[in-house]
Amino acid sequence: MKNKLLSMLLAWALAALNTAQAAAPQLVPLRQESQAAYLSAEILSRYHYRHVPIDAALSAQVFDNYLKALDSEKLFFLQADLDRYADARTKLGDAILGEDVSIPFAIFNLYQQRVSERIDYARSLLKKGFDFKANESYPLSRKDAPWPKSADELNDLWRKRVKNEWLRLKLAGKDDAAIVATLDKRYQTALNSQSKIKSDDAFQAFMNAYAMTLDPHTNYFGVRASEEFDISMKLSLFGIGAVLTEKDEYTMIRELVAGGPAALSGQLKPGDRIVGVAQGEQGAMVDIVGWRLDDAVGLIRGPEDTAVTLDILPAEAGADGKHKIISLVRKKISLDKLAARKSIIEVKDGAGARRIGVITLPEFYLDVAARQRGDKDYRSASRDVARLLEELKKEKVDGVLMDLRNDGGGSLTEAVDLTGLFIDQGPVVQQRDAKGNVRVERDTHPGVAWDGPLGVLINRGSASASEIFAAAIQDYGRGVLIGEQSFGKGTVQTVVNLDEIAKNGKPTFGELKMTIAEFFRVNGGSTQLRGVTPDVGLPSITDVSEFGESSFDNALPWTQMAPADYARAGDLSGIVPLLNASHEKRIKRDREFQYLQEDIAEFEKLRRKNLISLNEADRRKDREAREAREKAREATGNEADRAAAKARNKALQDDGMLASERNLSAELALEKRSKGAKDILLTEAAHVVSDEVGLLKATSGLRHAQAH
């Protein structure tokens, strides 16, 4: 998937300039970074699934990827900037092997300079104002546009960009003084964040540009990024149990984790600002005002059962308000929001109702270290889902729906074990390495956890382990797939600890997540590039040219191999046409579904046009038409329909603000409304599973293993 590791860096300067002193520092590579680059190249060139030599061609691709990572919308660099480094374009590979990454750092420093220039220019425009009667427009996306050839061309582009931001706020009801104040603060915040960028940010950006040249799913993790990746797989960390955010140079508590030290203390609440941190109860207090959020978090986290003391400026206090000192003991914090969870949807069936159990799985997590040391309570996706299935059986559900939307994958082992909850032994996925060796991953556990009707809900964000599970369920005829074409990631990665290879005593070099094999369905096909095709399709707002494996220039091609030796658990082919017919009939009379399809059509129209008017009259006309349409929707249907439409419209209303610019209570309220909005795709998927229940009762089409 598009590299998450660059998102923190890009958020500081690109697009909306929405992050939280002075000019950016001139960065120089540290010795260990040059060494890490060399070590990474040695490993990737020898053991990556694609054997790509480190030559001029690869260097040119790395150069282009690096520029794309830094300036994907071509808003900062001029063509002349690229020409300045033309000679280096084919020599980056030699530089890496020579343990010299000074050129990538020089490019990054130039990028920082250009960002500062653009922000300074943007702020200067606020003193002049704009003519909103002029007929001009601004491109929504510039990724395919040429690099600006002159400063005048770039200035005009930024004039339109700032004009659009001003107009958004104006249409939302703000006056000119408030608009100037909001935008000036927005740009100052962006400048402040630049001064906090460190050498490891530049190095990580470059190394990912190199790693992702080999394939889209090979990544470099610096030391801190490695820690975050480990946390995401274990779903746990040692800390105080608070979700933190950065606002106005403060580290602010966004929410408290239930059962964590912060919540149990009763002394902290959302909106409180942490202005100092000390280790233990007697340690020296470190002022963290103005710190980067990840640095502040690193100071607050620590070993289990150790104390941390916080200097708190309460939410209701002004900048000069009274502080309070709070000491907490760090504990293991489970990230339950990212864990599997269940719910039940009741679907009307004549005079009665069918109960469809929904299990939502955000990712395929596994605490490998806990399992290796024999911890009987180690955390894993399949163990959590097995427990939830037992609970749903006690609640007498008629069918189960696995919701894997936006589940980007995780542990391959967990994909196999999760499949084993629904099939009675057999191959789940095939792997083929670079040498052509084939390995079949099997479910070896007898019996199943759920032998009833099953649905799997997927979308374009369902990738990797999600696709392995969904494909196996489809190939075995065990359940019906609902949704949209999945991501199309059919490759296997392993994580290589560079410090272990270098025999370092402490984390220094980071890690590589490296592609080592492709995986194939048990029917011999691949999910690579093509993804998994659902049996019952749902509408999608995703642009497949922008998101998914097919959007990458260097994605591996689709291939296939011989099928594995497996026995189908059932055959749903006879009822799939009936499920689709019932689905089509139902959505034609569903107002919410019709609204969704109208919105998708409107979005597609805007995306194809790729331009937004900067004429105030035109924009007001469009906004008024949209609001009239929303009001009409709020006035139709029953009370529940009207309430759902009103909640959705309020959540989607454009206030021209960035999330970081809203006060915390307003942002949390907006988030709550968005989460509380009716999930019509989930509801429809539950109806499809309900139909499956009825059809399977009426036929004997499903032959599957019975639970022992």
Q: Kindly report the CATH number assigned to the domain that includes residue 249.
A: 2.30.42.10
pLDDT tens digits for range 323-342: 999 999 999 998 888 899 99
Task: Note whether 359 and 249 are same-domain residues.
Answer: no
The CA radius of gyration of the chain, in Å to the nearest whole number, is 27
What does the pLDDT look like over 361-400, one tens digit per residue?
999 999 998 999 999 999 999 999 999 999 999 999 999 9
Residue 703 pLDDT level (bands cut at 50, 70, 90): very low
340 and 329 within one domain: no
Q: Indicate if 245 and 381 belong to the same structural domain.
A: no
Instruction: Supply the pLDDT for residue 204.
Output: 95
Number of domains in the chain: 3
Q: Is the domain of 192 the same as that of 254?
A: no
Residue 348, domain member (yes or no):
yes
CB 40 within 8 A of CB 211: yes
- Where residue 708 sits, what CATH number does that domain have? 3.90.226.10
The per-residue pLDDT for range 109-165, each reduced to its tens digit, is: 999 999 999 999 999 999 999 999 999 999 999 999 999 999 999 999 999 999 999
Do residue 462 and residue 404 come from a single domain?
A: yes
State which of 334, 351, 386 marks the end of a domain: 334
The token duo for 641 is: 């329909």
pLDDT at 273: 96
Domain boundary among 334, 354, 370: 334
pLDDT, tens digit (0-9, with 9 covering 90-100), for 454-476: 999 999 999 999 999 999 999 99
pLDDT at 319 over 60: yes
Q: Is residue 498 part of a domain?
A: no
Residues with catalytic annotation? 464, 475, 489
Burial of 368 (0-12, 13-18, 19+ CB in 10 A): middle
275 and 166 in one domain? no
Same domain, yes or no: 156 and 272: no
Instruction: Summarize the confidence of residues 687-691 as an average pLDDT.
Output: 98
Residue at 347 is within a domain: yes
Co-location of 243 and 344 in the same domain: no
Residue 18 is predicted with a pLDDT of 36
Residue 313 lies in a domain: yes
What are all long-range contacts of 339-342, with beta carbons under 8 Å and residues at least 24 apart?
Answer: 339/235, 339/365, 339/379, 339/381, 339/384, 340/381, 340/384, 340/385, 340/388, 341/388, 342/388, 342/391, 342/392
Question: b vs e for 545-575, b when ≥16 Cβ sit within 10 Å of the residue's Cβ?
Answer: eeebbbbbeebbebeeeeebebebbbebeeb
> Considering the chain, what percentage of its residues have pLDDT values greater than 70?
94
Instruction: Give the pLDDT confidence score for residue 580 in this predicted structure.
Output: 98
Kindly state whether residues 276 and 166 are assigned to the same domain.
no
Q: Which amino acid is at 613?
A: S
| Residue 602 maps to a domain | yes
Closest CA to 521 of 437, 432, 429, 431: 429
Kindly state whether residue 468 falls inside one of the protein's structural domains: yes
Q: How confident is the model at residue 268 (pLDDT cuts 50, 70, 90)?
A: very high
Give the mean pLDDT of 563-590. Answer: 95
Same-domain status, 386 and 523: yes
Domain range holding 102?
4-214
User: Among 199, 212, 210, 8, which Cα is nearest to 105's?
Assistant: 199
pLDDT of residue 13: 38
Q: Tens digit of pLDDT for each residue in 185-199?
A: 999 999 998 889 999
Same domain for 276 and 201, yes or no, is no
**For the segment 644-684, what is each residue's pLDDT rounded down to a tens digit?**
667 666 666 788 888 888 888 877 877 777 776 789 999 99
Phi, psi for 249 (deg, rounded to 5): 75, 0
pLDDT category, 214, cuts 50, 70, 90? very high
> Is position 505 within any domain?
no
Residue that is last in its domain, among 300, 334, 368? 334
Please say if the pLDDT value at position 19 is more than 70: no
Q: Is residue 408 part of a domain?
A: yes
